[in-house]
Structure 1
Amino acid sequence: MKIGIVTVTYNSSLVLEDFFSSIEKQDFLDFNLYIIDNNSNDDTLSKIDEWNFSAKTILKNTNNIGVAAGNNQGIKLALKDNCDFVMLLNNDTIFEEKLISKLIESHQIYGSSIIVPKINYFNPSNMIWYAGGFFNRKKAFLNFHRGQGEIDENQYNYDDKIEYAPTCCALIHNSVFSDIGLMDEKYFVYFDDVDFFFRVLKNGKHEVRYRHDIHFLHKIGGLNNSTNGDEPFINSNFFIEQNCKNHVYFLRKQKTLISYLNLIYLWFYLTIRFFISKRFEKKWSVFYLIQSSYFKGFKI
């Protein structure tokens, strides 16, 4: 069984040592590593060159084409090399040596086409970022991470079927891409995973399964020296813009009555949340950003 690990880099030099160290320690060795660099302008490429893996492919883009398009480049290379599974894997992560072997084991036990681990924040490492995921039908099909922000007290230490997973780490059987297609490259970043897993859900042929007993840390908060999960990150203008417009595009793609009603709901939700939430501190520049980003979603 051959695995193609796909990771997209962009100015990732600060996180690569831990990532490659985790890859190097894997007890499952039959994998190819596909590194897609989106025109990094820091020491990323020199850091990559410092690590020698027996099967490593580096694709250097001349501009930043986005996460979805970068992942697609890696997926295509893995499928061309006849990999049985593609593992989409963020490089701002640290994980145990049995990551790949445990995910494969879940496939062998349950026959699931997609398997994902429990993921905790890097800082603090006892806080859950993801312990399974689903789509909220009552909130514009917004995806949510079960357990996010909770202290990990083993409350989600069981394997089960789920609907949604971030592509931070996902082991995907090659048949899924034949049935579902690749990532939608109109998403530069964010919601590409939501779109992909919603298509998996609608297709109905492939089970997605959560595996709980894997040590996996995501530096989404740690890179900002945050002690409050990902709060500084999700308050950034870049995140707000991409998240708002991509949510609109995602709903437009469904072309159903409920999706159009959810577009109206989403506008009210975003607008009201601005006024009642302490998150935005009533900055009118943020209000304008939310509104303009919402309407940009109709132009994608």
Structure 2
Amino acid sequence: MESLQLLVVSLKGKSQTLIENSLAEANYSFEITHADSKQHALLACGEKKFDVLISNCKLSDGPVTDLVSVLGDLLPCLVMAEGKCPFTAESILFIPETNYYISCSEQISWLTHLENTMAIWENAAKERIALFNQNYNNLFETALLRCAEELSPGNESTDTAILNTLDLLREVLDISRVYICRKYGSANHATEIVQTLEVCAPGVASKNRKNSNVNYPYYKSWDRSFSAQKPVQIKYAALEPDQKSWWQTRDMQSFLAIPISYNETWDGFIGFEDSMHPRDWSTSEISFLKSVSELIHEKHMHFQNTPVFQNNNV
């Protein structure tokens, strides 16, 4: 059983001891991180993942409601107050507007409220995730229709249609850089990867060969994945030292390549780079991008013997 990770804010002395003793008596495995203010609590959440926030209702730097409103979507929040039992005068921690409290003589009952709080939050989080996924899938459906319209054979300019499509993908995925790479070569010539069209987010430097004059590397290990219609995902931090130097020039934290294939061979790929986050790509995102790559090939590539994207930057 993993330890319960608690963030405890502005509870010290006897109050802190009451929480620790009650959890220990109930055989909880737990670790406590202390914060003495809202600011320090927020900083702690940026450095570590917690299961529950337990906060004093009185904070030195403002209302506890501010803290709960910020962190409430991230983890269950339990607000407690310090006081004295009116009958025994012993120190207690109590949950406002409930009958749950902790004292030296009664340590267990409040855990029922803690567990209920965690269960309610978990159910609400599942509902939020389900709604988010539904909205995200609806977004992908709408974006796919827009891509199909943009890539319709009636559009006069292939390059413009592709650029508009790539820019739509960049916007939908909130990504730094999207581009097309084509594969050149034959049995008698070395395989070369050529980056052609590219779009970038505002403020992100272009890495088109026209601007950077950097040869795109060819990884033989990608052949197996691309030939099987599988994407390639890379996180910069997980790269081997001899591979990091090239990717460092692109200011890349995470990378996804969706193959563009024809007759069971891959002709190139659509590259997606996030310069901000070591990103994990969801199944729905990859499925959506595979559909777009099929559209790109079907509408503009499969009927041509030569690559549709002429390399004007080499």
TM-score, structure 2 normalization: 0.20
Query: Greater Rg, structure 1 or structure 2?
Result: 2
TM-score by length of 1: 0.21
Pick 1 or 2: higher relative contact order, CA cutoff 8 A, min separation 6: 1
Q: Please state which structure has a larger fraction of its residues in strand.
A: 2
